[in-house]
Amino acid sequence: MIMTHENEILSSRLKREAQQWIELEMEKRMAAAEEEIKYPADVGSNIYMDEITSKHVKDATDYARQEIRRELEMDAERWIEEELKKRGENIEKTQLKYRDESLDARFCGMDDH
């Protein structure tokens, strides 16, 4: 697909929209992940020292954040590509429709040229 100015503008808008979605989704998913990480840590805190438990929670949370962001960014990229393709196809169909209508008008003697 050739990138026109309109496509670049649309792509920029979709990227901004996707970034907003990523940030909102990150908050929700990280809240759930932190709960899942902290529960076993709380249970294990009776067995392990606080330093070990704290390190586990920090490492697991950092890893979860990284993996969740990676997954969301991949989902967002797929969505952007699909939207650009879908909208590009709609534009092409519209252009073909108008071109065909223009040809029909010429062949029916409705065109003054």
Q: Up-side HSE of residue 58: CA atoms within 13 Å toward CB?
A: 6
- Encoding tokens for residue 35? 């709960």
Cα(6)–Cα(107) distance, integer angstroms: 32
Give me the residue spans of the domains in the chain: 21-103
Strongest mean pLDDT among 12-16, 34-38, 86-90: 12-16
Q: What percent of the chain has pLDDT over 70?
A: 70
What pLDDT does 113 receive? 46
Residue 91 has pLDDT above 80, yes or no: no
pTM: 0.67
User: In this structure, is the dihedral angle defined by the CA atoms of residues 20, 26, 28 and 29, taken in order, positive or negative?
Assistant: positive
User: In this structure, is the dihedral angle defined by the CA atoms of residues 85, 87, 92 and 93, taken in order, positive or negative?
Assistant: positive
CA-to-CA separations, 49 to 42, 43, 55, 56, 58, in angstroms, rounded: 11, 12, 10, 11, 14
Higher local confidence (pLDDT), 39 or 23: 23
The answer to whether residues 60 and 36 touch, using CB atoms and an 8 Å cutoff, is no
Cα(38)–Cα(53) distance, integer angstroms: 9
